[in-house]
Amino acid sequence: MNTFALSKHTGAGSPDVAGFFDPRTFSIQYVVSDPATKQCAIIDPVLDFDEKSGATATHHADELLAYINKEGLSVAWILDTHPHADHFSAAHYLKQQTGAPTAIGQQVTKVQALWKEIYHWPEMTTDGRQWDTLFSEGDTFNIGELDARVLYSPGHTLASITYVIGDTAFVHDTLFQPDFGTARADFPGGDAKVLWHSIQQILALPADTRLFTGHDYMPDDREPQWESTVAEQRERNPHIADMSETDYIALRHQRDSELPMPKLILHALQVNARGGRLPEPEANGKRYLKIPLDALEGAAWD
């Protein structure tokens, strides 16, 4: 199985993008680097977790660090696009290893408040202090000489953002590959109508913008893929091409009603809403996850 690909820069101000596919969670981690200065950003890193044994590990995050070391890169940012529901974030671990600042969208505070109630976790802070930077729509930053900006892309979650870096955009779970479709909108705080407008904002980028998605589910048993362009999405994505807003919302509602929740959603949100921090050890030195029962009413069963 192809689990690594490098998309080379296309000219001045364009990044190299290394994608790392995790078959356990169908997730893609990215190292986005400036060829001129060798500075890089890590996007959506995965902390390994086995729900059967409760084991945690840093294999995938360490793979990123090994690549960064091999290529002689320095880490300027550790970025999450949103609080993930299907894997743990390795942002906190990578900050410990590199000293680089962490960031996510400012609306993560709304996600924290929502899940604080779901977990009945009164001591949880919900002001986003678990990250070094909270980005808002239109904010800009740099990775070496690369210009980057932030699009607020809600709908899949309340806090989803897109990172536009040179001629690339990291669209998290808003768009999948053109042969698969778009993100679900039935998580707590999700909204299909809002998601449609977030998709249109992304599709308004230049046609040759390289788009990198957060997951790939390999329809028809093809090899994993995670890169497309705005033009390809407009032309080939069945949830976009010749689709009206009304039709899209109806399609999304129908599909979402049939989808079971991600198997790790209740595990992952209590870690990812805290910037990738695992629960603190209890008196016996062990860490424990808290799983609320019957918290996501109406979710389809496998």
pLDDT attached to residue 299: 86
Q: What are phi and psi of 252, to 5 degrees?
A: -65, -45
| Amino acid residing at 78 | I
- Every domain of the chain and the residues it spans: 4-269
pLDDT attached to residue 222: 97
CA distance linking residue 200 with residue 205, whole number of Å: 9
CA torsion through residues 36, 39, 44, 50, sign: positive
pLDDT attached to residue 302: 83
Q: Where is 89: in which H helix or E strand?
A: strand 88-89
Report CA 249 to chain centroid distance, whole Å. Answer: 22
| Amino acid residing at 230 | V
State if pTM tops 0.75.
yes
- Would you say 135 and 104 are in contact if contact means Cβ atoms under 8 Å apart? yes
CA distance linking residue 170 with residue 163, whole number of Å: 5
Topology (CATH level 3) of domain 4-269:
Metallo-beta-lactamase; Chain A (3.60.15)
CA distance linking residue 19 with residue 64, whole number of Å: 10
CA distance linking residue 182 with residue 173, whole number of Å: 7
CA distance linking residue 183 with residue 172, whole number of Å: 9
pLDDT attached to residue 297: 85
| Amino acid residing at 15 | P
* Tens digit of pLDDT at every position of the chain (302 positions): 999 999 999 999 999 999 999 999 999 999 999 999 999 999 999 999 999 999 999 999 999 999 999 999 999 999 999 999 999 999 999 999 999 999 999 999 999 999 999 999 999 999 999 999 999 999 999 999 999 999 999 999 999 999 999 999 999 999 999 999 999 999 999 999 999 999 999 999 999 999 999 999 999 999 999 999 999 999 999 999 999 999 999 999 999 999 999 999 999 999 999 999 999 999 999 999 999 999 998 888 88
pLDDT attached to residue 196: 98
pLDDT attached to residue 232: 98
Planar angle of CA 189, 30, 71, nearest 5 degrees = 160
Q: Under 8 Å CB-to-CB from 82, ≥6 apart: which residues?
A: 104, 105, 108, 111, 156, 157, 159, 160, 161, 172, 173
